[in-house]
Amino acid sequence: MIKIDLHLHSAFSDGELSVPELVLSLKKCGVSVAALTDHDTTNGVELFLARCRSAAIKSMSGVEISAAYGGVLHITGYRFGLENKALQDALKKNRSARLDRNLRICERLRELGLDITLEEVRTYAGSDLIGRPHVALAMVNKGYVHSISSAFERYLKRGAAAYVPRLLLPPEDCIGVLRLAGGLPVLAHPLQTTPDLDDLPPVLRRLKDAGLWGMECWFPGASPSVVYRCLGLAREFELRPTAGSDFHGDRHAGKHVGVAVNEDLLPWAVLCGGL
């Protein structure tokens, strides 16, 4: 068995740890293959690759993109060219859509009587990438809610009082732009897309036709039987199974870096090629 982790967030998006801290914790936990998959930004990737190289951890470029879908559908991408213009333009568009959305979330919160401004929220972000977890942190620190998860439950989750949707690319476009950049697109945490895995096949058909390469089969909250069923679906749709913790930091209880998998799970040479 080896420990891998192809789904990690740093302070370049909404993770708690800086890139060097994250790589230290990968090293400490014995992870030997890893990718940083920050939301809508690859700004941390070069540093991540350099630190992984020094720590003798195999690594490749990575990113996570949320797609337009009835519910949650997140695509992680790997091994793409960092300089690819179409991909970087798409990520930039997503970041600017976030900005509009965050402004509107803060407005909504103020209408609800919570004194939260975007400037305040910005102080909780480690880079220019601001997400709802940063809004939640500001709300906790001001005492409006007692935890990040209650901020989501009461105000920020889809359908809650201050929820504002974000302009997103269709899944086909997320997959297409990653493929054009030489990347390998993967469906992340599939249980968030269809809480009942019986509903997943039509989604996988659609994504596979668009060029999906893999499917996360080990993810937070996946019981052994869920992993087993995901592996079966991956085989059925000829998708590579991957594993990731979706680690955002220790504040998010119960999440640790590293997932133990069989050494022959993935063609590491393909995934890590050239990097």
Determine which residue in the list 7, 27, 39, 179 makes contact with ligand AMP, applying CB under 6 A. Answer: 39
Q: How many residues bind Zn ion (CB under 5 A)?
A: 2
| Residue numbers 206-265 binding ligand AMP by CB under 6 A | 248
Residues 271, 33: Cα–Cα separation, whole Å:
10
Contact between 75 and 169 under an 8 Å Cβ cutoff? The reply is no
When asked if residue 16 is in the footprint of Zn ion (CB under 5 A), the reply is: no
- Which residues in 83-203 belong to E strands, given as ranges? 184-187
Q: Output the smallest distance, CB 247 to Fe ion, in A.
A: 9
Backbone angles phi, psi at 78, to 5 degrees: -135, 155
With binding defined as CB under 6 A, does residue 51 bind ligand AMP? no
Question: CB under 6 A: which stretch of 18-26, 120-128, 148-156, 212-220 binds ligand AMP?
Answer: 148-156
**Which residue type does 195 have?**
P
- Does position 132 interact with ligand AMP (CB under 6 A)? The reply is yes
SS3 label, residue 136: helix
CB of 11 or CB of 266, closer to Zn ion: 11
Contact with ligand AMP (CB under 6 A) among 62, 126, 131, 220: 131
Q: Which residues, 6 or more positions from 53, have their beta carbon under 8 angstroms from its beta carbon?
A: 59
The answer to whether the CB of 55 falls within 8 A of the CB of 23 is yes
Q: Which is nearer to ligand AMP, 220 or 237 (CB)?
A: 220
Tell me how far apart the alpha carbons of residues 64 and 160 are, in angstroms, rounded to a whole number: 24
Beta bridge partners of 187: 75, 215
Q: Which of 5, 14, 16, 40 binds Zn ion (CB under 5 A)?
A: 14
Residues in binding contact with ligand AMP, number by CB under 6 A: 10
Residue numbers of the site for Fe ion (CB under 5 A)? 64, 74, 188, 246
Which residues contribute to the site for ligand AMP (CB under 6 A)? 14, 39, 131-133, 148-149, 152, 157, 248
